Amino acid sequence: MTLFLHGYHFSVYTRIARLALAEKAVTYERVEVNPFAADCPPDYLALHPFRRVPTLVHDGFALYETGAITRYVDRAFAGPALRPASPRALARMDQIIGIVDSYAYWPLVRQVFVHDVFRPRTGGEVDLVERDKGLDAAARVLMALDTLASDDACLCGPEVSLADFHLGAMIAYFALSPHGSALLAKHRRLAAWWTRFSRRPSLAATDPGLPVTQP
């Protein structure tokens, strides 16, 4: 079996795919691709015409879109099921993933994390107005997710699911911001869930770290 995951080291979507692979204990090779680089390799664009990450290639079968990748990993490989069996819990998982992709990624990651954490370390331009817009939008997102989250161990019940990976990869960045962490603490279910999820070995195993601080 040959399995390759093409992705950007700091991408939350690459980490989501890595979390699914880690939870299934699947061995794979990582191929670093920076979709923001001007010289994105032509062979990668042949795999992903929209110039995003990640892309999974399994024995010649190429697949992009993170939701498709994580569902494929769950179906194709042995290990614990990453989707609940109950129709309602499964629907809740799909709903949470949809909310995270549509409404959480931009404010939590691209606005709060990038301007509060990433760019200060890399010497990039910091826009605190943009950061504050992200915090305003994040408040609504977290309130909605807090309402939907289960009181059980994981977002959709007692067992971990793909929803935990989608949100967990983003909260891992968001909570590195003092402003993000303070906002998360105001939401009881999500804060309790994050305390539990942040201890999972798969999260530690897939931690991309942070770039070296620029002078």
Q: What is d(CA 202, CA 21) in angstroms, rounded to the nearest whole number? A: 9
> Is the whole model's pTM more than 0.85, yes or no?
yes
Beta strands (DSSP E) in the chain are 3-7, 29-32, 55-58, 61-64
In DSSP notation, 121-145 reads HHTPPP-HHHHHHHHHHHHHHHHHH
Residue 70 CA to residue 100 CA, distance in Å, equals 15
pLDDT in tens, the chain (215 residues): 799 999 999 999 999 999 999 999 999 999 999 988 888 889 999 999 999 999 999 999 999 999 999 999 999 999 999 999 999 999 999 999 999 999 999 999 999 999 999 999 999 999 999 999 999 999 999 999 999 999 999 999 999 999 999 999 999 999 999 999 999 999 999 999 999 999 999 999 999 999 887 66
The closest alpha carbon to 91, from 141, 155, 144, belongs to 155
Q: What angle do CA 178, 20, 153 make, to 5 degrees?
A: 60
CB contact at 8 A, 76 and 58: yes
